[in-house]
Amino acid sequence: MARNTQDTYQNPLIERYASPEMLFVFSPHNKFSTWRKLWIALAEAQAELGLQISHDQIVEMKANVDNIDYEAARQIEAQTRHDVMAHIKVFGEKCPKAKPIIHLGATSAFVGDNTDLIQMREACTIILARMSNVVRVLRKFALAHADRATLGFTHFQPAQLTTVGKRATLWMYELLMDFEAVEEFIARLPFLGVKGATGTQASFLSLFNGDHDKVKKLDTDVAARMGFRQTVPVSGQTYSRKIDFQAAASLCGLAQSLHKFGNDLRLLQHLKEIEEPFEKTQVGSSAMAYKRNPMRSERLTSLCRYIISLSLSPAMTAAEQWFERTLDDSANKRLSIPEIFLTADAALIIALDICEGLLVYPAVIARHIGEELPFMATENILMASVKKGGDRQEIHERIRLHSMEAARGVKIEGKRNDLLNRCAADPKILLSNDDIKDLLDVKAFVGRSPEQTREFISLYIDPLLARAERYGTVNKMNLTV
């Protein structure tokens, strides 16, 4: 029965969330054309080291890198149950001169594993570019609000004041750690190289008549041709699957940071202090027309939880490998590795969209400060009263009693916080209304928040963004709301 796309499951990462750049990295064409590039690099290096491989054979292979008959490969794989052999045969049909030397001495992991490493490196570069975009926008936001006092929260209970900009540095600092983790992963990412069926390079040693130096040079030359400075020092047939886990772990860390940012914003939106962007025609609820649900932040946290859960699969796969290789990794990593990168890509796209449209409501922030500042000012009131000759212990008790009564009025009777008026009216506290007002400048309650914000950006974020230039740029997505 003929089916259309509406009759078949569609992966939301492809249909809704991930970018064309990341989808291409893990696309069949990128994968299989990279296999052909690896066969070419192997042949070129073997020719330079003295094997009978002609210039015409290499030219023929290069001319057919993208000339892939996918239907023929599918049919052969259905017969052989082996994807690498299917593509060797299809490539050989397009390259009759080179057919005898394609995949010479190699095993399936030569193309499969080395391509996986290339794809992860390409994907990490996209992730770094997207992370730098988010950090760049948060940097601008933090500087714009470096001096804007706001309630700090511990346990989501009002605590000492901070600034809106300083809070944004907490988000940026975690992203900084994630950026460095991905950078470090790329820097130390090795190539599998040419290792053979069990990692002993026996087939290549045979090709070069026992010349160990030529085998070692073949390993490093192929890696260099594919842009890698190092190969794994030892291996079985495959590279250690702990490398997959290390990639997943760095993205798991990123997901944790973005999830915290998304949760913070959801709480701030509940307080009506800061909101994510909301389109003019956007609908918040099908039933409650007034609602402005934080759907972007909710989608962000939802995707981040998926990343965190996905990171467990590579860990379990690495632990499950037997001796020089088993195949129980294949189906798992075929799903988990692309999807963790696609989901991280999607999460960063949404995070950037949120950050570019953040809405700050200073009047609401100021009102909330006004409701809590009297309690925070009690230590200043105590010190000022003592300076005027009051008894520290007696004044402390008077302030405590007034605080209890003021809190009772706020919580039980719904009154405004009248603690300051109570203190000013108490003759034992020795301060007038004007004296107390002089103690309430919010700048005195934010500590070094403005300075910390600017110093952090100068010392840490600006160098990160300068370094990020090497990773290029990526397109901004038009999101489906």
Which residues are tagged catalytic? 155, 285
Strand partners, 162: 150
Number of helices (H) and strands (E), helices first, in the chain? 21, 4
DSSP 321-350: --TT--STTHHHHHHHHHHHHHHHHHHHHH
Give CA separation, 233 vs 54, 200, 432, in Å: 30, 11, 77
How many residues are listed for the chain in this entry? 481
The Cβ of residue 308 has, within 10 Å, a number of other Cβ atoms equal to 19
Residue at 430: amino acid letter: L
DSSP 47-107: HHTT-S--HHHHHHHHHTSS---HHHHHHHHHHHS-HHHHHHHHHHHH-TTTGGGTTTT--
CA 334, 335, 336, 337: dihedral to nearest 10 degrees? Answer: 50
**Of the candidates 338, 340, 346, 334, the residue with the CA atom closest to the CA atom of residue 119:** 338
**DSSP designation for 459:** I
- Tell me if residue 240 falls in helix, strand or coil: coil
d(CA 477, CA 350): 9
With DSSP H G I counted as helix, E B as strand and the rest as coil, what are the percentages for the chain, rounded to 5?
65, 5, 30
Contacts with 78 (C-beta within 8 Å, 6 or more apart), sequence order: none
User: Is residue 242 a contact partner of residue 174, using CB atoms and an 8 Å limit?
Assistant: no
Mark residue 176 as left, alpha or beta (left: phi above 0; alpha: psi -120 to 50; beta: remaining).
Answer: alpha
CA dihedral for 249, 250, 251, 257, sign (positive or negative) = positive
Strand partners, 50: none
Give CA separation, 297 vs 236, 263, 290, 293, 302, in Å: 44, 7, 19, 9, 8
